[in-house]
Amino acid sequence: MNTINPIESKLAILSLLFAATMWGIIWYPMRLFEQAGMSVVWVTLIMYLTAGIASLPIFIKNRYRWKHVPADLLWLALAAGMTNLAFLVALNEGQVMRVMLLFYLSPLWSVILGRWWLGEKLSLAAIIMFVLAMGGTVLMLWRPEVGFPWPHGLADWLALFASLCFAVNNVLSRKLAAVPMALKTTIILWGVVAVSIVVLLLQQASLPSVGLSVWLSAVLVGGGIIIAMTMTVLYGLARMPVYLAAVIMLFELIVAAISSALLTTEMMTVQEWLGGAFIFVAAFGIAQVEKANR
């Protein structure tokens, strides 16, 4: 059994906290780009294309792996592409915390899909967490004047869609455990690129009429933030138990709450905060279930 020394353990925690912080504030540069005249889909394409090009040496080095599980890797690319694009668009279109909390239903979907696809045992604790999360979702989505608690608006639908796609991404990553994490990450980056291109073609979108500085900024965000987040997550996951990493990544919600309070005028109701608390507790609980099952 491999052991991790204390210094590596601390660095792994710091790496995951850094990644969670970046994901908690990624919505802000997206909105700045939108204000500058470049849509979120275009920004996503440029960012991930930059990161994808930087990852090509990894892909070339591990290209022989494609012979073993090509179909599953392609599904992983598709799921990851839809996850990232839907999540970023939702953050731009809706309330930051509302989108974040609805997205954090993904650990619950992962448990259900793991039971369905991989035959993993669904414990009583997992069922309780699922019921708690669903209760929180109902609280967040319910409007007395509307009636049945369906998502309201594009942002809600995209956040829920992203959470489900992310769960598919997690289950496929687990299924592809034998594939090097670096190769899976490369596939994910190019999956986002592919999905972004398809969406832009469907939208018949023209090139944004923005200055060179905006294009360069998008490249720098992709070459800096996206690659940094990817590398720090990889470092942390390689040195932390999955359940502990899941708990640490919940720090993203705290960062999102603080940043949205400081940088926007968005306000959540008491009902939405209560529903979000249920979802947060359920996500934390699922991490503990993972710990108990190890």
- 121 or 147: whose pLDDT is higher? 121
The rounded distance, in Å, linking the Cα atoms of 128 and 135 is 11
| Burial environment of residue 66 by CB neighbours within 10 A (0 to 12, 13 to 18, 19 or more) | middle
Closest CA relative to residue 105, chosen from 229, 246, 282: 282
Q: Is pLDDT at 59 greater than 80 in this prediction?
A: no
The more confident residue out of 95 and 104 is: 95
Residue 1 pLDDT greater than 50, yes or no: no
Query: For residue 3, which phi and psi values (nearest 5 degrees)?
Result: -115, 150
Q: How many Å separate Cα 6 from the centre of its chain? A: 28
pLDDT for residue 195 = 97
In degrees rounded to 5, what are phi and psi of residue 147? 105, -125
Among 14-23, 92-101, 144-153, name the one with the lowest average pLDDT: 144-153
Find the mean pLDDT for residues 152-172: 86
Q: Would you say residue 186 lies in a domain?
A: yes
Residue 106 pLDDT greater than 70, yes or no: yes
pLDDT for 68: 63
Specify if 1 maps to a domain.
Answer: no
- Number of domains, the chain: 1
| 147 Rama sector, left if φ>0, alpha if ψ -120 to 50, beta otherwise | left
- Mean pLDDT along residues 210-235: 87
Q: Given this model, what pLDDT does residue 294 score?
A: 54
Q: Say if 203 falls within a structural domain.
A: yes
Nearest C-alpha neighbor of 286 from the set 106, 16, 98, 17? 106
Measure the CA–CA gap between 284 and 253, rounded to whole angstroms.
12
168-219 confidence digits (pLDDT tens)? 887 787 777 777 777 888 888 999 999 999 999 999 988 998 999 999 999 9
Domain presence at residue 107: yes
If you average pLDDT over every residue of the chain, what do you get?
Answer: 81
pLDDT exceeds cutoff 60 at 231: yes
Mean pLDDT check: name the lowest of 44-53, 77-86, 239-248, 272-281: 239-248
- Residue numbers of the domain that contains 277: 6-293
Residue 20 has pLDDT above 80, yes or no: yes
**Structure confidence at residue 136 (pLDDT):** 76
Q: What is the pTM for the complete model shown? A: 0.82
Check pLDDT > 90 for residue 10: no
What token pair was written down for 85? 């694009």
Q: What percent of the chain has pLDDT over 90?
A: 27
